[in-house]
Structure 1
Amino acid sequence: MTTDADTIPMMVRQMRVESSGVVSLRLERQDGGAVDRWTPGAHLDLHLNRGTIRQYSLCGDPDDKTGYRVAILHEVTGRGGSRHVHETLRPGDSLSVSAPRNNFELLPSPRYVFIAGGIGITPILAMIGEAERMGAEWELHYGGRARASMAFLDELSGYGDRVHVVTEEADGILDLAGILGTAREETLVYACGPEGLLGAVEGYTDSWPDGAIRLERFKAKEIPADTLAGDRPVRVICERSGISATVAPDRTILDTLEESGVDVPNSCREGICGTCETRVLAGTPDHRDSLLSSSEQESGTTIMICVSRARSDELVLDL
Structure 2
Amino acid sequence: MTKAAEIPPDLYGRPRRDRFWVAVNAAFNGVERVRRLRTLRLPGLPEPVDRTLRLVVTEVRPVADDVVSLRLAAPDGRLLPGWQPGCHLDVLLPSGRRRQYSLCGDPADRRSYRIAVRRLPDGAGGSVEVHQALVEGAFVGVQGPRNAFPFLTRETYLFIAGGIGITPILPMVTAAHRLGADWHLIYTGRTRASLPFLDELPPGRITVRTDDEHGVPDCAELLDGAAPGAAVYCCGPAPMIDGVRAAFRPGGPSTLHFERFAPAPIVGGRPFEVELARSGRVLQVPADRSALDVIRDELPTVAYSCRQGFCGTCRVAVTAGDVDRRAPSDPEAGSMLPCVSRATGGRVTLDL
TM range (shorter): 0.7 to 0.9
1:232-273 CA distances to partner (integer Å, 9 max, x unpaired)?
A: 99xxxxxxxxxxxxxx996979xxxxxxxxxxxx96262254
Q: Does residue 85 in structure 1 map to residue 118 in structure 2? A: no
Q: 8 Å contact 2:92–2:140 — kept in the other structure?
A: yes
Amino acid at match of 1:125: L
Q: What is aligned with 1:216? A: 259
Structure 1 unaligned segments of length 5 or more: list them. Answer: 234-247, 254-265, 279-284, 313-319
**Cα 1:227/1:189, change in 2 over 3 Å:** same
> Helix, strand or coil for the counterpart of 1:198?
helix
AA of the residue aligned to 2:341: S
Shift of 1:153: 0.9
Shift of 1:154: 0.7
Q: C-alpha offsets along residues 139-190 of structure 1, whole Å, 9 cap, x if unaligned? A: 000001011111111112xx23311111111111334323325874321111
Q: Give the equivalent residue in structure 2 for 1:270.
A: 307
Relative distance call for 1:267 and 1:192 in structure 2 (3 A) is: same
1:61 equivalenced with 2:98 (yes/no): no
Matches within 5 A, 1:193-272: 193-208=236-251, 212-224=255-267, 227-229=269-271, 268=305, 270-272=307-309
Q: What's the counterpart of residue 188 of structure 2?
A: 143
* Pairing of 1:22-37 with structure 2 (within 5 A): 22-37=67-82
2:103, 2:168 within 8 Å by CA — same for their partners in 1? yes
Number of matched pairs:
269
The amino acid across from 1:228 in the alignment is: R
Please give the alpha-carbon distance, in whole angstroms, between the structure 1 residues aligned to 2:199 and 2:211: 19
Distance 2:254 2:91 in 1: 30
CA change 1:182–1:87 in 2 (3 A) is closer
Distance 2:164 2:49 in 1: 28
Aligned with residue 86 of structure 2, among 20, 34, 41: 41
Unaligned runs of 5+ in 2: 1-47, 275-282, 293-302, 316-322, 346-352
Deviation per residue, 1:33-63 (Å, 9 max, x gap): 1111101000001111221110000000011
Q: How big is the shift at 1:201? A: 0.4
2:234 touches 2:259 (CA, 8 Å); kept in 1? Answer: yes
Aligned partners of 2:226, 2:187: CA distance in 1, in Å? 20
Q: Which letter maps to 1:161?
A: G
Q: Which residue of 1 aligns with 2:42?
A: none
Equivalent in 93, 107, 123 of residue 152 of structure 2: 107
Aligned equivalents of 1:304 and 1:62: distance in 2?
Answer: 34
The CA distance in 2 between the partners of 1:81 and 1:178, in whole Å, is 34
1:18 and 1:175 map into 2 onto residues whose CA distance is 27
Contact 1:26 1:67 survives alignment (8 Å)? yes
**In the alignment, is the contact (CA less than 8 A) between 2:236 and 2:259 conserved in 1?**
yes
1:126-141 equivalence runs, <5 A? 126-141=171-186
Q: Please give the alpha-carbon distance, in whole angstroms, between the structure 2 residues aligned to 1:50 and 1:59.
A: 24
Name the stretch that deviates more: 184-193 or 55-64. 184-193
In the TM superposition, residue 10 of structure 1 has moved relative to its aligned partner by 0.3
TM-fit CA distance, 1:197: 0.5
The alignment's TM-score, normalised by the length of structure 2, stands at 0.67
Q: Please give the secondary structure, in 1, of the residue aligned with 2:222.
A: helix
Q: Quick one: distance in 2 between partners of 1:118 and 1:189?
A: 17
Which of 142, 159, 174 is equivalent to 2:217?
A: 174
Identical-residue share of aligned pairs (%)? 38
d(CA) in 2 for partners of 1:252, 1:140 = 37
**Superposition deviation, residue 205 in structure 1:** 0.6
Q: Is the 8 A contact 2:263 2:306 kept in 1?
A: no
Retained in 2: the 8 A contact 1:61–1:126?
yes
Equivalent residue letter for 1:55: Q
CA contact (8 A) 2:55 2:75 kept: yes
Does the 8 Å CA contact 2:97/2:305 hold for their aligned counterparts? no
Q: In the aligned structure 2, how far is the partner of 1:78 from the partner of 1:211?
A: 35
Residue 189, structure 1, aligned to residue 232, structure 2? yes
Q: Which residue of 2 aligns with 1:155?
A: 200
Q: Secondary structure at the match of 2:204?
A: helix
**CA–CA distance in structure 2, aligned partners of residues 128 and 183 of structure 1:** 15
User: Could you give the per-residue CA deviations for residues 46-88 of structure 1, whole angstroms, max 9, x where no partner exists?
Assistant: 1112211100000000110101000000001011111011123
Task: Give the corresponding residue for 1:308.
Answer: 341
Find the residue that maps to 1:132 and give its secondary structure.
Answer: helix
Aligned AA for 1:20? D
Contact 2:71 2:115 in 1 (8 A): yes
SS at match of 1:219: coil
Over 3 Å counting, the alpha-carbon distance change for 1:178 and 1:309 in structure 2 is same
| Local SS of the residue matching 2:130 | helix
Report how far residue 129 of structure 1 moved.
Answer: 1.2
